[in-house]
């Protein structure tokens, strides 16, 4: 699944996050990118085991993983490049639709379903879904308290950024208020690096994605 050289490249990049270093290691970068594309293809090849919509959509190579270079507005700190990568398996677009992902970062790998970096329009759709049909028996609360979901994702929904108050136009007393404050969200389960070196880890990833599939379908 993940090649040892890919982990080595990401670890080295984290310690040498400069353009000159990246230019000198283009071969290793290209090898890592081929590895990510191969992983994305595998995730899609097995999609019929966790989400038929992803299986029917097929792989979109240019949307299959995050890029190394960070645009200035997306940077955290001064680093030019991401030293971690998310590989996607989506029925839609990773910045527009909640879908499945594998996060690859040395000693911090995990998998689940999310839309952590939504566009402005996608975030508005997520929030609207949260406040629609509050009495639906299949609402988000029921989903998050499902035994299989809780066992796989004990932290529930997590976000890369949480606002201090609900966005303008929403009611702070709404039961969905904690999630309305989230700027993108999803669920995650840690996966040890050693397991990701083995192709058989796909069976574990399928189980993780299967547990996350109700969340994806809820926001579909």
Question: At 202, is the pLDDT very low, low, confident or very high (cuts 50, 70, 90)?
Answer: very high
The total domain count for the chain is: 1
Residue 134 pLDDT exceeds 60: no
d(CA 32, CA 7): 9
Domain that holds residue 10: 4-218
**pTM, to two decimals:** 0.91
State residue 98's pLDDT score. Answer: 95
Question: Is the four-CA dihedral 99, 106, 183, 64 of positive or negative sign?
Answer: negative
Residue 71 pLDDT exceeds 70: no
- How crowded is the C-beta side of 158, counted as CA atoms within 13 Å? 12
Residue 137 pLDDT exceeds 50: no
Question: Is the four-CA dihedral 40, 215, 114, 3 of positive or negative sign?
Answer: negative
Contact 46, 206 (CB under 8 A): yes
pLDDT tens profile 6-44? 999 999 999 999 999 999 999 999 999 999 999 999 999
Contact 188, 111 (CB under 8 A): yes
């Amino acid at each position: 699944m993940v090649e040892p050289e890919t982990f080595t490249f990401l670890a080295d990049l984290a310690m040498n996050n400069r353009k000159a270093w990246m230019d000198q290691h283009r071969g290793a970068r290209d090898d890592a990118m081929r590895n990510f594309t191969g992983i994305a293809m595998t995730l899609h090849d097995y999609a019929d085991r966790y989400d038929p919509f992803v299986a029917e959509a097929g792989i979109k190579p240019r949307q299959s993983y995050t890029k190394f270079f960070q645009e200035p507005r997306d940077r955290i700190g001064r680093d030019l490049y991401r030293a971690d990568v998310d590989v996607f398996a989506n029925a839609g677009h990773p910045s527009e639709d909640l879908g499945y992902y594998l996060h690859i970062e040395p000693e911090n790998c995990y998998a689940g379903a999310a839309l952590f970096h939504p566009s402005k329009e996608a975030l508005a759709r997520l929030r609207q879904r949260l406040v629609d049909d509050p009495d639906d028996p299949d609402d988000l609360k029921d989903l998050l308290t499902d035994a299989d979901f809780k066992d796989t994702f004990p932290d529930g929904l997590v976000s890369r950024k949480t606002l201090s108050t609900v966005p303008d136009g929403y009611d702070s007393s709404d039961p969905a208020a904690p999630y309305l404050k989230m700027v993108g969200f999803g669920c995650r389960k840690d996966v040890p690096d050693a397991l990701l070196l083995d192709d058989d880890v796909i069976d574990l990833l399928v189980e993780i994605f299967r547990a996350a599939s109700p969340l994806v379908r809820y926001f579909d």
